[in-house]
């Protein structure tokens, strides 16, 4: 049974930042102070397209609720979800049941909308986010969301973790086409094959085509670990930075110069990524790397949301 808020019960706000590799949550009190936080498995709105994917999303929501509820029942939820396209009815019902609250008090949006607000106020700057995928984001002063890229790992998402993994595997297997066994002389190839399970094509094929995109993106960790020893790995990471710079430059060309921030776990893989990005941005433009905190921003947004009137 859903318990109504009372004067002695603080209206807690739950913020959720769901990405391909992990889902972070934070619980905020009135005033914005963070009371608790945690993380569970990653998820994507794209998983809602298959029965197995829906089961996975529900299971992740159940895990999230089990970690949140010992700290308090939220009054409102703001959730940013990667791949979100606007259809939230089923997602709201599931979370409402699991968190013992009203579905109308649960709000979904793109994960990039909350990530942006963790770095800038609307109209203030441009955020380039590099996680499993990549996207450039700008929210103008009217609250309209504008994007560059972010159209999925199959089409693009240059500079993200999946892109780095794909570029590494493509480089390795093209060399194997030309010189079978060349991987033995490559630190990157050795690390990649160790990660995927073996040097036979069957292991790489199963890894790239049989895994969720977030799991594939984690291969970028192996690439980054060899960047200072293997020129091919270093070149891939520098190219990743150039891809991220392209997103920022696209927004600058459309809306004019503003500060640029880069965030996301892929951008943190190696200093060469951010250095290559900075080199391609206009001279004198304010540029920073931020550590995220989108789940904090979402929790504070949730606190400020209006409550559903009691029936």
> Binning pLDDT at 50, 70 and 90, where does residue 9 land?
low
Rounded mean pLDDT, 113-129: 91
In the predicted structure, residue 2 carries a pLDDT above the cut 60: no
Percentage of residues in the chain with pLDDT exceeding 70?
95
Q: Long-range contacts for 67-71 (Cβ within 8 Å, ≥24 apart)?
A: 67/25, 67/38, 67/40, 68/14, 68/25, 68/27, 68/36, 68/38, 68/99, 69/99, 69/100, 71/27, 71/35, 71/36
Sheet holding 106-110, edge to edge: 34-41, 22-28, 13-18, 76-81, 106-110
In the predicted structure, residue 212 carries a pLDDT above the cut 90: no
In the predicted structure, residue 21 carries a pLDDT above the cut 60: yes
Please state the pTM of the whole predicted model: 0.79
Tell me, what's the pLDDT at 4?
A: 43
Rounded mean pLDDT, 39-61: 91
> Binning pLDDT at 50, 70 and 90, where does residue 106 land?
very high
- Using CA atoms, how far apart are residues 294 and 111, in angstroms rounded to an integer? 8
> Binning pLDDT at 50, 70 and 90, where does residue 173 land?
very high
Tell me, what's the pLDDT at 305?
A: 77
Name the residue with higher pLDDT: 9 or 46.
Answer: 46
In the predicted structure, residue 5 carries a pLDDT above the cut 60: no
> Binning pLDDT at 50, 70 and 90, where does residue 202 land?
very high
Rounded mean pLDDT, 24-48: 91
Alpha carbon distance, N-terminus to C-terminus of the chain: 14
In the predicted structure, residue 267 carries a pLDDT above the cut 70: yes
């Amino acid at each position: 049974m859903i318990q109504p808020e009372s004067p002695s019960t603080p209206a807690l706000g739950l913020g959720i930042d769901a990405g391909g590799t992990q889902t972070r949550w934070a619980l905020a009190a009135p005033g914005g102070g963070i009371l608790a936080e945690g993380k569970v498995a990653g998820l994507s709105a794209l998983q809602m397209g298959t029965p197995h994917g829906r089961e996975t999303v529900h299971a992740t929501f159940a895990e999230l609720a089990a970690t949140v509820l010992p700290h308090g029942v939220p009054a409102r939820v703001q959730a940013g979800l990667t791949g979100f396209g606007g259809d939230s009815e089923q997602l709201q019902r599931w979370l409402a049941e699991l968190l013992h609250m009203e579905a109308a008090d649960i709000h979904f949006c793109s994960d990039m909308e909350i990530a942006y607000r963790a770095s800038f106020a609307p109209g203030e700057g441009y955020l380039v986010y590099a996680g499993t995928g990549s996207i450039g984001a700008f929210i103008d002063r009217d609250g309209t969301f504008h994007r560059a890229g972010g159209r999925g790992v199959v089409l693009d998402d240059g500079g993200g973790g999946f892109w780095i993994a794909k570029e590494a595997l493509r480089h390795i297997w093209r060399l194997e086409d030309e010189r079978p066994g060349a991987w033995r002389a490559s630190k990157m190839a050795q690390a990649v094959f160790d990660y995927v399970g073996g040097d036979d094509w069957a292991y790489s094929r199963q890894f790239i085509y049989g895994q969720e995109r977030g799991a594939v993106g984690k291969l970028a960790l192996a690439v980054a670990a060899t960047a200072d020893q293997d020129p091919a790995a270093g070149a891939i990471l520098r190219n990743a930075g150039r891809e991220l710079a392209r997103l920022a430059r696209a927004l600058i060309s459309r809306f004019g110069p503003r500060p640029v921030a880069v965030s996301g776990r892929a951008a943190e893989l190696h200093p060469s990524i951010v250095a290559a990005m900075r080199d391609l941005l206009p001279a004198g433009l304010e540029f920073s790397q931020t550590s995220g905190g989108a789940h904090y921003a979402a929790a504070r947004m949730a606190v400020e949301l209006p409550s559903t009137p009691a029936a």
